[in-house]
Amino acid sequence: MKNKLMIMSMFLLACSSSFAQKNELKELEKLIKKNNTTETTALLATVEKLLPNATEDQKAAYYYFKAQNELNLAKSGVDFNENRSKAIESINQLIKFENETKSKKYTLEIMPIKNALLADLVNEAVENNRNKNYKKSSRLFEQAYHLNTTDTIYLYNAANDAVNAKDFDYAETKLKELIKLDFNGASKTFVATSQVNGKVESFGTDEKARDMAVRNGSHSKPETIVNKSAKASIYNNLAQILLNKENYSEGESYALKAYELDKDNINNLLNVLYVFYNTNRIYKYEEYALKGLERFPENENLLFNLAVIKLKDGETEKAVDFLNRILKLNKNHFEALKTLGNIELQKDAEVTNKINALPNTASSNKKREELMNEKKQVYTNTLAFYKKAQAVNPKDESLNELIKQIQDFLNTNN
C-alpha cells in the first residue's frame, strides 16, 4: 500500500511539474509577443530548472523562446553583441536538439528568424568592410559563420578582415580553423547584364537562376567568373603572422606550404626566404632564391640579396654580376650602386699593402708611382659609383663622408 501511494505521489508530482511547465511556456509566449524582456528572462530561468523533467517538445520550446528573448534584448540595446551571440547559440541548440529528436516543430518556426538574422549580420559586416572598419566586420562575419557553418566563406571573410585590421591573434585562430576545415574557396560566380539598367548583376553560385533570367529576357550576356583557390593565401597570411612573432618553427611549415601551392606569388617565396635567413640556413636561402629568380628574373630584392650572399661567400665576381643585373633594370638602385663602390674600394687595401711593402730606395720609386696611379684609379672608379648613389640619396651621411675623403685624396695627389 505504501509503495502504491509513493508511486502515485511521484506520478502526481511529475504531472503537476509538466502542467506547470505548459502554463509557463504559454506565459513565455505572451511575454515574448509583448517584448517584455525583464519578465521573460526571469521566467526562462525558472523553466530552465525544470528542464530535466520536461518533455522533448517543452525543451525545444524553451530553446525557441530563449533565442527570441535574446534577440529582443539585443534589439533593445542590452549587451547587443553578447545577446546576439547567445541567440545564435540558442538557435543552433534548438535545431540540433530537434534533429536528434526527429522533430521539426520549432525548427520550422525559428528558420525565418534565423534567415533574417543571418541577412542582418552579413549586410552589417559588408557595410563595415566597405567603411574599412575591419575589426568589427570580422566579428560580424564570424557570427554569420556560427549561425550557418555550412557557408565557410563567412569564416574566410572573418579571417581576412582580421588580417586587414592587424588583429593578428584573432586572425591566427580563424586561419587555423580554415586550414583544419581544408577550406578551398574556389568557386564560380554567375553573372549577366540587366536589360533594365545595363549593369552586370551577380546571381552568386546559382547558375540555374542566371540561365532562367537570360531565357526570360530580363538579362543577357551570361558570364561565369572563376574564383581561384584561396588556400595559398590562407597559408601565406598565417605564415606571416607567425614569422612576425618570431615563431619560426611553426611558421616555416605554413610558409613552405604556401610556396608549394602558389610559386608564382613573390610573397610566398619571400616568406620562405625570411625563415631561412632568420634561422641562419643561408644555403637553403640561396637554393630557394635561385629557384625564385627563374620565375622572377627582374626582382631587384632577390638579385640584391643573392649579391650580398655571394659577397659573404667571397664570390665577388658573381656578386658583381647580380648587382649589374639590378642596374640594367634600375640604374638608380641606391644599394646596388653603393655596394659596387664598396667592392671597388676594397681593392685599395691590396694596393696600399703593396706600397707599404716597398723598400725606401730610389729603385723602388718607379714601382711606387705605378702603384699610386693604380690607387688613384681605384678611388676614381669608386667615386663614380658613390657619386651616382649620392644623387639617388644625398642624405646618407656615411656615404657623404667617404666621398669627401676620396675627393680630398685625389685632389692632394694630382
Pairwise pLDDT comparison (112 vs 360), residue with the higher score: 112
Q: Can you tell me whether residue 309 is helix, strand or coil?
A: helix
| Average pLDDT score over residue span 374-403 | 94
* pLDDT at position 9: 40
| Average pLDDT score over residue span 341-345 | 95
Provide the percentage of residues in the chain whose pLDDT is more than 70. 94
Closest CA to 162 of 183, 133, 188: 133
Q: Could you tell me if 44 and 61 are in contact, meaning their C-beta atoms sit under 8 angstroms apart?
A: no
* pLDDT at position 15: 41
* pLDDT at position 190: 84
* pLDDT at position 4: 42
Helices and strands: H and E segment counts in the chain: 18, 3
Place of cell 568589427: 136
pLDDT of residue 17 exceeding 50, the answer is no
* pLDDT at position 52: 80
Q: Could you tell me if 47 and 89 are in contact, meaning their C-beta atoms sit under 8 angstroms apart?
A: no
pLDDT of residue 297 exceeding 90, the answer is yes
User: For all residues of the chain together, what is the average pLDDT?
Assistant: 88
Label residue 405 by pLDDT band (50, 70, 90).
Answer: very high
| Average pLDDT score over residue span 36-40 | 75
Q: Which spans in 245-281 are helix H?
A: 248-261, 266-278
For 330-366, b where at least 16 C-beta lie within 10 A, e where not — what string? eeebbbbbbbbbbbbbebbeebeeeeeeeeeeeeeee
Q: Which of 126-130, 160-164, 189-193 has the lowest mean pLDDT?
A: 189-193
Closest CA to 173 of 140, 138, 199, 200: 138
**Cα distance between residue 351 and residue 280, in whole Å:** 34
| Average pLDDT score over residue span 246-270 | 95
Label residue 10 by pLDDT band (50, 70, 90).
Answer: very low
pLDDT of residue 115 exceeding 50, the answer is yes
Angle between helices 56-75 and 37-50 in degrees, nearest 10: 150
pLDDT of residue 130 exceeding 70, the answer is yes
Label residue 339 by pLDDT band (50, 70, 90).
Answer: very high
Cell of 286: 640561396
pLDDT digits (tens, 9 = 90+) for 142-179: 999 999 998 898 999 999 999 999 999 999 999 999 99
CA atoms within 13 A on the CB side of 350: 7
Q: Could you tell me if 376 and 413 are in contact, meaning their C-beta atoms sit under 8 angstroms apart?
A: yes
* pLDDT at position 228: 84
pLDDT of residue 18 exceeding 50, the answer is no
Closest CA to 195 of 222, 232, 170: 222
pTM, two decimal places? 0.76
| Of the ranges 74-78, 105-109, 136-140, 354-358, the best mean pLDDT one | 136-140
Q: What are 225's strand-pairing partners?
A: 189
For 274-313, b where at least 16 C-beta lie within 10 A, e where not — what string? bbbeeeeeeeebbebbeebbeebeebbebbbbbbebbbee
* pLDDT at position 175: 97
pLDDT of residue 272 exceeding 80, the answer is yes
* pLDDT at position 111: 92
| Average pLDDT score over residue span 62-82 | 85
pLDDT of residue 3 exceeding 70, the answer is no
Closest CA to 312 of 284, 289, 276, 283: 283
